[in-house]
Structure 1
């Protein structure tokens, strides 16, 4: 995996700790962005049905010359497809767009708690995993109470919970719940859409190590054991976001960035968002 550390999930599947996200990248631009990422050395691509760019991801993988097992592909089940039959059909559509016979990780994108349909959908994901249409299954934006209800079904525990997580919103209660259930934490919006890159603690660490603020924030995520999926369409930034393994933040630098928590959510709140 191009020297990128891996995380072993609770089902034995390994995922690169640093991947490439394509949220808000138009499908017409996705193939070029993913091709650039793969050429730079990324081996994990994160997309979703609702992004509308699974086809672009698939085209880039097909054109890369890489073997299927060399690229870890994540996609997600959208809220309107929660439920037993819809979830199965949704993964089939995603696979068709990606041009793949399986994905490596399939996530329920949001719990949409007003419907309670995420519980039925989870049981379908278990079936899809058993049928080898996805290697691992997980969730996204689930709060502790949602995780507890899935665990109470008595079946498979999610391998991953992908949540908004950055220095301004560290989601500590959810991270603790993930750890309690043996679920890996994956961070989306790792830079708070750029809002944390000018923070003095981040800028100071960047200066001390001769790196960029974005590289500091990625290093902060990695040193705390999280999976992280930065997004960019700029080739220089795509490459720079991968170049984060030649330095290490000190305990003091980590603590200074930890102190930036201010409930600075950039996306919807999972308890209230229903699609």
Structure 2
């Protein structure tokens, strides 16, 4: 596994596992929890140590239970979760209460990376939320802090008014929408880019091109896409409900794309 060093010196595995449908009936986002941790168990067995969760997903306890019952110590894992701001921001008391719920559900005293999940149209509230994250960071409860789905204007707000720069910006970056400009801006500010759902957006035409690229290396279209991302130092968090496919996503460190390969992928 390759690690990427964040702007505060913390190392994060460059591949993590998405979790938003894990432990749910029918593998559906809105499904009820099944009461098991099967996908987390498989991922740990395959070698995943980085798990991406969120309050919005409604299943942080699945991640917490799966990691807790493994034979590995807590320090082996890198856990990310996010403050649910999809319906905006309520208050400082609300934010503190939601953070404490996440710590309880994840069964941990610290979170490796805590994000604001989505920006909203109130700069004063966003700064208040960021200062709350900074406080948890300064107390060592959060090992690193960052944001998700932020554009340049939102990043500038925190960079100009906060005390701690975001360590990461988790964004859409996938076939058909590589988001080069925002990734370049993140990089210019020392902010790592994380691609959520990196294997979405692949239609049959793109899949054919990716399969052609992967054939000489003995790699699948999915492995080619993930390799392209990590060669750009973009952290990826693929997700699968199939044990073999989970494992395949980790098997991308034994080949390198050529400049021609990268140009073809960038054009998709």
TM over 0.5: yes
Aligned length: 257
Match of 1:23 among 1, 6, 20: 20
| 1:167/1:196 contact within 8 Å kept | no
Structure 2 residue 111 is the aligned partner of structure 1 residue 103: yes
Alignment of 1:1-275 (within 5 A): 4-25=1-22, 26=24, 27-28=33-34, 31-79=37-85, 80=87, 82=89, 83-113=91-121, 117-195=125-203, 198-260=206-268
* Distance in 1, Cα, partners of 2:108 & 2:201: 31
Deviation at 1:245, TM superposition (A): 1.0
- The 1:116/1:28 distance shift into structure 2, 3 A limit, reads farther
Q: Check whether the contact 2:175–2:201 (CA below 8 A) recurs between aligned residues.
A: no
Q: Secondary structure at the match of 2:4?
A: strand
Q: CA RMSD in A?
A: 1.7
TM-score, normalised relative to structure 2: 0.91
Instruction: Quote how far apart the aligned CAs of 1:28 are.
Output: 2.5
* Partner Cα distance (1:168, 1:149) in 2: 28
Out of 196-205 and 66-75, give the one that drifted further. Answer: 196-205
Q: Distance in 2 between matches of 1:30 and 1:211?
A: 31
Gaps of 5+ in 2: 25-32
1:63-96 deviations in Å (ceiling 9; x for gaps): 1111111000000000157343322221100011
TM-fit CA distance, 1:195: 3.6
TM-score (norm 1): 0.89
> Could you tell me how far 1:201 is from its partner in structure 2?
2.6
Q: Deviations over 1:239-271 (max 9, x none)?
A: 1111111111111101110011xxxxxxxxxxx
Q: Find the residue that maps to 1:157 and give its secondary structure.
A: coil
Question: For the Cα contact (< 8 Å) 1:122–1:150, is it kept in 2?
Answer: yes
What's the secondary structure of 1:199's corresponding residue?
A: helix
In the aligned structure 2, how far is the partner of 1:213 from the partner of 1:45?
Answer: 23
